[in-house]
């Protein structure tokens, strides 16, 4: 079935996710084995639309293709699913990223999680963090916070998701003084990670979402390192420190956190993601912010 | 035997991130036939909490190696102190996670979107 995509995502952070949910609904209503998403030219989408859509499509049993002539989707490398840094020479990668230095967004980065690509992954992530920082001239204190937020989410993908790939995408809004960053994987979900834990008692996506956000690590090892602080400190830093917004989606569990709102939600079964997505709206002007204040 | 000084950034880069990078670093330098090693943080730009937590457990809490860290910035010191202080803290138990009557469950996507649209979430 051909599905025309007319989304025009506004300022509200969740509108990107609402747009993807509408698409998921239409995909599920189609009885065809293959659907084609036809993106209209005049639309604007956000990271919280793009990466959840990519992850949903990659985990879908249906064959879903894209069709678009939109230059923004081209520039962010949407059609190919993102830039794969290990497939490019270092100099070619940097030359490619140079094209974005005057933009307010980065391309989708599709990074490998395998340990043999540690160097490539670390280099591309550092390059992306620097690019985001330089595009809008972030102050050093915010750049350090940005690195922390990105690195903790990426490390969770590497350590827990069993996903071969991870994704990062970001867009800044200079007139609003915030940026949206989305980091995702198409791995085993939070629930899958807990199910691998010895003595696990968690059996559904909502409980796994709560456990992850209450600091229960799947790798709490007796007498050894103590984990479970990455998500907690990241949220504290983002929400309390920067007055930002935090969204996590895994399976069909959705979690939202802002200064005034915290919600755990269960989406209908047709809206189940084979992976985990973290999205952050990061206000980036805050002279008194110091990321170390939020590291427990 | 003179203590060897190892510039950590020569192995990992100036941004120290990911637990797996620590494990690979350990594998590389544990082949050295020395029990005492000085790790120089002079050129480090940034270190994530995950990295420092793994670093603490593999290098500092490890009785096999005598490790001295030199030229730590104030931020790296603070990060190390933070991970030290949370080692062996009482862990949250998964048994405390339970269903709550405030959990919100949607039977349809339109119901979910109606709720999300009305939420004052930026």
State the best of B57, B116, B117 to mutate against chain A, taking most chain A CBs within 10 Å: B116
pLDDT tens, B32-75? 666 678 999 999 999 999 999 999 999 998 767 788 999 999 99
Tell me, what's the pLDDT at A224? 39
Domains in chain B, number: 1
Tell me, what's the pLDDT at A123? 87
| Position A40 confidence tier, pLDDT thresholds 50, 70, 90 | confident
Sort out which chain A residues have CB atoms less than 8 A from B78's CB and list them: 292, 295
- Domain membership of residue B77 (yes or no) is yes
- Domain membership of residue B82 (yes or no) is yes
Option in A22, A211, A267 nearest B94 (CB):
A211
CB contact under 8 A, A225 and B87: yes
CB contact under 8 A, B106 and A18: no
The nearest CA of chain B is from the CA of A39 a distance in Å of: 21
d(CA A100, CA A261): 34
Option in B56, B104, B116 nearest A17 (CB):
B116
For residue A13, is pLDDT > 90?
yes
Torsion of CA A149, A153, A154, A156, to 10 degrees: 140
The CATH number covering residue B38 comes to 3.30.750.24
- Domain membership of residue B98 (yes or no) is no
Sort out which chain B residues have CB atoms less than 8 A from A129's CB and list them: 15
Which residue on chain B is closest to A19 by alpha carbon?
Answer: B113
SS3 for A77? coil
CB-based contacts of A218-227 (< 8 A; 24+ apart in sequence): A218/A160, A218/A193, A218/A194, A219/A159, A219/A160, A220/B91, A223/B88, A224/B57, A225/B53, A225/B54, A225/B56, A225/B57, A225/B87, A226/B53, A226/B86, A226/B87, A226/B88, A226/B89, A226/B91, A227/B53
State the best of B8, B59, B97, B101 to mutate against chain A, taking most chain A CBs within 10 Å: B97
CB contact under 8 A, A266 and B106: yes
CA-based nearest residue to A190, from A249, A266, A233, A250: A250
The nearest CA of chain B is from the CA of A188 a distance in Å of: 19
B23 alpha-carbon distance from chain centroid: 12
For residue A198, is pLDDT > 60?
yes
Which of A125-134, A193-202, A235-244 reaches the highest mean pLDDT? A235-244
**Looking at A63-67, A183-187, B35-39, B118-122, which range is the least confident one?**
B35-39
Calculate the average pLDDT of chain A.
Answer: 91
Instruction: Decide: A129 and A140 in contact? Cβ < 8 Å.
Output: no
Q: What is the average per-residue pLDDT within A149-175?
A: 95
For residue A10, is pLDDT > 90?
no
Tell me, what's the pLDDT at A221? 45
Which residue on chain B is closest to A114 by alpha carbon?
Answer: B20
The nearest CA of chain A is from the CA of B117 a distance in Å of: 8
Compute and round to an integer the Cα radius of gyration of chain A.
18
d(CA B70, CA B5): 9
For residue B89, is pLDDT > 90?
no
The nearest CA of chain A is from the CA of B10 a distance in Å of: 12
Domain enclosing residue B32, as ranges = 4-88
For residue B92, is pLDDT > 70?
no
What percent of chain A has a predicted confidence (pLDDT) above 90? Answer: 78
Tell me, what's the pLDDT at B91? 56
- Domain membership of residue B80 (yes or no) is yes
Burial group, residue A259, by CB count within 10 angstroms (0-12, 13-18, 19+): exposed
| Position A6 confidence tier, pLDDT thresholds 50, 70, 90 | confident
Sort out which chain A residues have CB atoms less than 8 A from B79's CB and list them: 292, 295
CB contact under 8 A, A256 and B18: no
CB contact under 8 A, A206 and B19: no
Domains of chain A by residue range: 80-294
Calculate the average pLDDT of chain B.
Answer: 85
The nearest CA of chain A is from the CA of B61 a distance in Å of: 9
Which contiguous run of DSSP H or E holds residue A140? helix A140-160
CB contact under 8 A, A265 and B103: yes
For residue A64, is pLDDT > 60?
yes
- Domain membership of residue B53 (yes or no) is yes
Sort out which chain A residues have CB atoms less than 8 A from B75's CB and list them: 144, 292
**Token duo for residue A282:** 């990061």
pLDDT tens, A95-121? 999 999 999 999 999 999 998 898 889
pLDDT tens, A265-292? 999 999 999 999 999 999 999 999 999 9
The fold of A80-294 is Heat Shock Protein 90 (3.30.565)
What percent of chain A has a predicted confidence (pLDDT) above 70? Answer: 96
């Amino acid at each position: 079935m051909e599905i025309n995509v007319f989304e025009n995502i506004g300022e509200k952070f969740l509108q990107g996710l609402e747009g993807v949910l509408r698409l998921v609904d239409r995909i599920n209503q189609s009885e065809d084995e293959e659907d084609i998403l036809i993106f209209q030219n005049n639309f604007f989408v956000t990271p919280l639309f793009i990466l959840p859509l990519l992850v949903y499509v990659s985990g879908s049993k249906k064959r879903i293709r894209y069709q678009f002539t939109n230059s923004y989707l081209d520039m962010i490398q949407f059609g190919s699913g993102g830039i794969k840094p290990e497939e490019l020479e270092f100099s070619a990668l940097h030359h490619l990223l140079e094209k974005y230095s005057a933009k307010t967004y980065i391309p989708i980065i599709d990074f490998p999680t395998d340990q043999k690509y540690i160097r490539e992954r670390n280099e591309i992530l550092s390059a992306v963090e620097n690019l985001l920082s330089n595009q809008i001239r972030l102050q050093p204190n915010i750049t350090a916070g940005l690195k922390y937020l990105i690195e903790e989410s990426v490390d969770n993908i590497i350590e827990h998701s069993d996903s071969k790939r991870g994704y990062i995408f970001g867009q800044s809004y200079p007139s609003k003084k915030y940026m949206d960053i989305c980091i995702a994987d198409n791995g085993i979900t939070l629930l899958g990670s807990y199910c691998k834990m010895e003595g696990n008692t968690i059996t559904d996506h909502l409980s796994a979402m709560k456990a992850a956000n209450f600091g229960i690590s799947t790798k709490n090892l007796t007498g050894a390192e103590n984990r479970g602080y990455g998500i907690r400190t990241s949220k504290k830093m983002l929400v309390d420190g920067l007055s930002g917004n935090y969204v996590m989606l895994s399976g069909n569990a959705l979690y939202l956190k802002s200064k005034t709102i915290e919600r755990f939600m269960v989406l209908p079964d047709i809206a189940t993601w084979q992976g985990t997505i973290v999205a952050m709206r990061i206000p980036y002007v805050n002279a008194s912010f110091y990321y170390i204040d939020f590291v427990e | 035997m003179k203590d060897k000084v190892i510039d950590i950034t020569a192995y990992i880069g100036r941004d120290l991130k990911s637990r797996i990078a620590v494990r690979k670093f350990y594998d590389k330098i544990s082949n050295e036939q020395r029990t005492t090693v000085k790790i120089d943080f002079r050129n480090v730009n940034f270190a994530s909490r995950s990295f420092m937590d793994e670093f603490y457990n593999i290098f500092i809490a490890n009785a096999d190696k005598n490790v001295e860290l030199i030229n730590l910035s104030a931020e790296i010191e603070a990060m190390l102190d933070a991970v030290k202080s949370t080692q062996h803290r009482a862990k949250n138990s998964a048994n405390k996670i339970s269903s709550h009557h405030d959990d919100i469950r949607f039977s349809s996507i339109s119901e979910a979107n109606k709720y999300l649209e009305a939420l004052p979430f930026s």
